[in-house]
Amino acid sequence: MDDARSRRKPVNGAVQTPVAYLTCNFSAPVGGKPACFTHDEVITLFHEFGHGLHHMLTRVDELGVSGINGVEWDAVELPSQFMENFCWEWDVLSDMTQHVDTAKPLPRELFDKMLAAKNFQSGLGTLRQIVFSMFDMKLHVDFDPSGKESANDLAREINERFHVIPQAAFSRWPNTFSHIFAGGYAAGYYSYKWAEVLSADAYAAFEEAAQSGKGSVLDVATGTRYRKEILEVGGSRPAMESFKAFRGREPNIDALLRHNGMAPDAVPGAAH
């Protein structure tokens, strides 16, 4: 996703409507049949469309903080990762999938297998991200490059503290950690996991609406509040204020753990 133009209102001028576009490099049609997207491609489409909604639904007229502009680095992925959740919702997938030959929707048995595969070893994956994030943060906060401890020593120390799999003696993984040396994530790698916390907790509001008897996660009232407090405000206020305005509290990790199969499903009937 990228923005072609942002919403703004010049002095004594009309509002410039925002425009966003998605560059979709998806599977092409084969053998005269319609294009068959993989589930990963559908997730990507929903993810990038979330960025698009964030940019296009803004009600802020100041260019620097309208849409996706001015949103903190560790919160700009909230609307995009939020949309991915619908791709793991049975009620949603059963209505939007169709077999190319039989026209039948996705079988529930196959959906359950996909969900199990998604959550396979998610705990190890989480620990891996924690090690990367802690190493990045310590490296930029209190690491002494002229001290006795090397960057690799620091990496080994953090791995031993936070992971359950010992680091091999020959490992030098910080040497290839391009995200923080060449990828723009220096002192910000934690944003990957933090944005997941925000998006999962935001989506949990829709699950709670469904649980309270409103039918499904496609609840209009919750969606309207999400649009108003998250999407429309852009970067005009701190992301934490926007989250609390929507959720009524600060974020917690419960929904993220549940969505990854690492905690009991506390929302009866939810796909997670």
Positions annotated as catalytic residues are: 48
Could you give the CA distance from residue 71 to residue 88 in angstroms, rounded to a whole number? 27
Per the CB < 8 A criterion, the answer to whether 56 and 67 are in contact is yes
Could you give the CA distance from residue 216 to residue 222 in angstroms, rounded to a whole number? 11
Could you give the CA distance from residue 203 to residue 12 in angstroms, rounded to a whole number? 39
What angle (nearest 5°) sits at the alpha carbon of residue 138, between those of residues 135 and 143? 120
Per the CB < 8 A criterion, the answer to whether 137 and 187 are in contact is yes
* Residue 195, strand partner residues: none
Residues 60-74: b if buried by 16+ CB within 10 A, e if exposed:
bebbebbbbbbbeeb
Could you give the CA distance from residue 30 to residue 245 in angstroms, rounded to a whole number? 47
